[in-house]
Structure 1
Amino acid sequence: MKAKVGDRLVIMSQHLDERVSEGEILEVRGADGEPPFLVRWEENGHEALVFPGPDAHVVPYEHPAPA
């Protein structure tokens, strides 16, 4: 799994009654875009160092289209 600053980290729930966790990648601390990632979580604004598991994926940052 590789990421860049600004990408989104999405962690899927393993249970139906749990929500998906999503956050912005603030720092990539591994070599060549690899984990760990410093992530700011959407639901509470907390920052955490994350070593994503198999239930996680990265959504690349999309630059806004020029007006």
Structure 2
Amino acid sequence: MEAHTGDRLLTHGRTVGQQDRVAEIVEVLGAGGSPPYRLRDEDGHESLVSPGPDSVVQHTACRREER
């Protein structure tokens, strides 16, 4: 899994009736875009996450090129 700051992390609900969770990746703490990630939820809550197989990175369409 590879992510960059500004991407979104989609975590699918684990039980029937539980909604998917989408959070913005505000910091990538692993080397080369790997986990753990610092996430910010829509309500402003931040958490440190090492996503499992139920998560998918949604890359942003517009990203600055690194030099």
State the TM-score, normalized to the length of structure 1: 0.87
Larger deviation: 12-21 or 29-38?
Answer: 12-21
Residue 56 of structure 2 corresponds to residue 57 of structure 1? yes
Residue 50 of structure 2 corresponds to residue 48 of structure 1? no
Task: Measure the CA separation in 2 of the matches of 1:8 and 1:62.
Answer: 11
Aligned residues: percent identity? 44
Aligned residue number for residue 11 of structure 2: 11
What letter matches 1:60 in structure 2? Answer: H
CA RMSD of aligned residues (A): 0.8
Aligned residues: 62
State the TM-score, normalized to the length of structure 2: 0.87
> Runs of 4+ in structure 1 displaced over 2 angstroms?
none
Structure 2: runs of 5+ lacking an equivalent: 63-67
Summarize the alignment of residues 19-58 of structure 1 with structure 2, pairs less than 5 Å apart.
19-42=19-42, 44-58=43-57
